[in-house]
Amino acid sequence: MNPSFMHIKTIFFDADDTLWVNETHYRNTERAFFKLIGLNEQDGIRELLHTEMQNMPLYGYGAKAFTLSMLETAQRILGAQQAAAVTAPVLELGKKLIAAPMELLPGVRQTLQELAPFYTLAVATKGDLLDQQRKLKNSGLRDFFAHAEIMTDKTPQAYLNLCRALKTEPAHTLMVGNSVRSDILPALEAGLQAVYIPCQDGWIYEEAPNTPLPDFVTLKNIQELPALLKGETHA
């Protein structure tokens, strides 16, 4: 049974890979990194993800944390002496990742224009503060949002805190995002409704856990969202 969206007053949007392209840049950086340190893609993904998972409690998310994890992985795979030779190229990969061009996903601007007169819109994302602020500014979308929240992590309490800050009830709030793990499950646990829009290049960490999942709506793209909210389509 699909939830009713007739009582929705506020919509939270994830940023990376919901509003603009992000993971594609990470995947391209990974491939360049694996080539640099001489790993095939399968082994490289395994080794780099292992480092990222260990570092996440210390570094959090984002391009800076990713760059540090690449450096650490290179040292583990190559040894300190050989890794020193690739330090500068790895740092350059990290800088290019941070400076990657902004590319909005199809239909994002039009969808926000359609929704903004009727709903309070907010960004609810996680990652490095400076990096996310830069991307939001460069996107040209900032004026659509009443608020932009950059979280350390997306937990049920983080969503409740954001609802409280915006004076909106969780039951009247919708979370829209591309990650079941970060955008959908904690939002539902907090009492929000949620819409999942899969992205093309997902991060392995953000894949849905291998457990029974609650019901939630899945859309093919963000352009389907206004019709869903009006009750014109059924997901």
Q: What is the mean pLDDT of the chain?
A: 91
Q: Which one is the CATH code of 10-20+103-229: 3.40.50.1000, 1.10.3720.10, 1.10.10.10, 1.10.3210.50?
A: 3.40.50.1000
pTM, whole model, 2 decimals? Answer: 0.89
Alpha-carbon torsion, ordered 99, 110, 106, 10, to 10 deg: 80
Task: Round to whole Å and give the CA distance between 230 and 83.
Answer: 56
Cα–Cα distance list, 54 to 64, 94, 109, 209, 213 (Å):
15, 19, 37, 18, 26
Query: Cα 165 vs. chain centroid, distance in angstroms?
Result: 21
Contact (CB, 8 A) for 57 and 142:
no
Instruction: List phi, psi (to 5°) of 155.
Output: -120, 165
We find that the CATH architecture of domain 23-98 is Orthogonal Bundle (1.10)
Domain spans, the chain: 10-20+103-229, 23-98
pLDDT tens string for the chain (235 positions)?
345 788 999 999 999 999 999 999 999 999 999 999 999 999 999 999 999 999 988 898 889 999 999 999 999 999 999 999 999 999 999 999 999 999 999 999 999 999 999 999 999 999 889 999 999 999 999 999 999 999 988 999 999 999 999 999 999 999 999 999 889 999 999 999 999 999 876 555 556 555 667 788 999 999 999 999 988 765 4
Task: Round to whole Å and give the CA distance between 176 and 14.
Answer: 6
Q: Amino acid identity, residue 30?
A: E
Contact (CB, 8 A) for 202 and 21:
no
Q: What is the pLDDT of residues 106-127, one digit of tens each?
A: 999 999 999 999 999 999 999 8
Task: Round to whole Å and give the CA distance between 58 and 86.
Answer: 23
